[in-house]
Structure 1
Amino acid sequence: MATGPIKIVYCSWSSFKKEEWAIAKDQIALPSAGKPLGHLFDCQFRDVHTTEPLLCDLEAMVRFKIASAYRAVQVPCIVEHAGLILEGYEDKSYPGGLTQPMWDSLGAEKLVASCSTLSTKAIARAVVGYCDGLNTYTFVGETKGTLSATPRGDRDFYWDTVFCPDGFGGKTYAEIVGSDRKGLIEKLKVSQSIRALQKFMEHRLKNEPSLFPAL
């Protein structure tokens, strides 16, 4: 007997993450299932305070973050954290988990200026952490691109105004999104965060099939 989408607690304060899920659930499919993400999962957002150490390594950082989230909600849950990785510094994951504090301290232009002394090419990397109460897993999504010397676009979401994903003629994420729903859909098709989320969902399908509705 078929049931509804599987409920998963998504620990995040971000209004942008909530907005992106509201679109992705109907517009982005899970490749293995051939169905929109929202037909399989119901992400229920909770505003949960989490702890995260200042580390370049995003996966290590997310393991701390998901542990603190699980302690708060006491049910299987996910978290996500993203950062920029400069070309040539993949093995050091730099700046990675330090992207956010650098952004907050330096601002967009000075952050890009400091990074550009090393490389103008970057990878947007997102890590989704999942804890089922017994085990912790991490799932990585990546999007290659370049850094814009100056912020462009009106969407004030983290570094969306300076990251230009490959394949969009040098437009930043913020410019791609613009002010309409269609632009956000285009961003989500190449989003590192959606790619990481899809990997998490694939894991659940494969390893916990009894929890899923009939496809």
Structure 2
Amino acid sequence: MRPPTVYYATSSRFKRDEIELLQGAKLDQSGGDETPLIRDVCDFQFADVSTDEPLEISLEKMVDHKVRSAYRQLLTPCIVEHAGLILEDESAFGFPGGLTQPMWDSLSDRGFLKRVGRGGERAVAQAVVGYCDGVKVWTFVGETKGSLANEPKGERKFYWDTIFCPDEFGGKTYAEVCGEEDGLLRKLTVSQSAKALRKFVEHLRRHGSGNLFANVP
């Protein structure tokens, strides 16, 4: 039986590379031989559409709005994703959260470190995947604990990958690890985005796509 198609609304080539690689991974990383591959549960297709992104600290609120705007254009089940950093000392406020990207775009990597955090400061990388089937919106959250680097490191300039060091990588940034052999695959074993996406795919496996037009002749 062919898996349901879900459109992933993104224009990022970095994100497309990650999703294409992740589709060949097992849904449950600790599962045995019978564990399905992600591509056996969901057929991801990419859609380059412009989405509305309200300025919110809460990533979940932002994604809820963003995926509704994507669905209005695609009129088919779709997902969006947004990610940000939450400083440990500001966790009660979720800062900068959804404000991470506009701050990053304005300040760049070194400016962001100077204005927002200090090298070695604890932080959580949070990603939220939003899914809209035309009737309802679900959100799925993935988090990875780590710390901020003293300075940007690594050649893969994907968002704040050059300054975030997940605990599992011994002080290396995502970008540094991605520069090593099979590095992108290693990133996906701990990535907050991969965690959120796996939660979505598991939801799809258990409940189906819920496509509003599935039974329309």
- Normalization by structure 2: what TM-score? 0.90
Residue in 2 that maps onto 1:4: 2
1:1-35 Cα distance to aligned partner (Å, 9 max, x none): xx122211111111111101111111343357712
Aligned residues with identical type, % of pairs: 49
Structure 1 residue 169: Cα displacement: 1.0
Gaps of 5+ in 2: 212-217
Secondary structure of the residue aligned to 2:5 is strand
Secondary structure of the residue aligned to 1:50 is coil
Gaps of 5+ in 1: none
CA contact (8 A) 2:59 2:128 kept: yes
- Say how many residue pairs are matched: 208
Structure 1 residue 149: Cα displacement: 1.9
Give 1:64-83 correspondences, 5 Å limit: 64-83=65-84
Residue in 2 that maps onto 1:95: 96
Letter of the 1:100 counterpart = Q
Tell me the distance in 1 between the aligned counterparts of 2:25 and 2:47.
23
Which of residues 18, 24, 43 in structure 1 aligns to 2:22? 24
Residue in 1 that maps onto 2:185: 185
1:126-145 Cα distance to aligned partner (Å, 9 max, x none): 00001111111110000000
Structure 1 residue 207: Cα displacement: 2.2
Tell me the distance in 1 between the aligned counterparts of 2:45 and 2:102.
27
Tell me the distance in 2 between the aligned counterparts of 1:90 and 1:5.
38
CA contact (8 A) 1:28 1:189 kept: no
Secondary structure of the residue aligned to 1:92 is coil
Structure 1 residue 73: Cα displacement: 0.3
CA contact (8 A) 2:148 2:163 kept: yes
Letter of the 1:201 counterpart = V
Structure 1 residue 178: Cα displacement: 0.4
* Structural RMSD (CA): 2.0
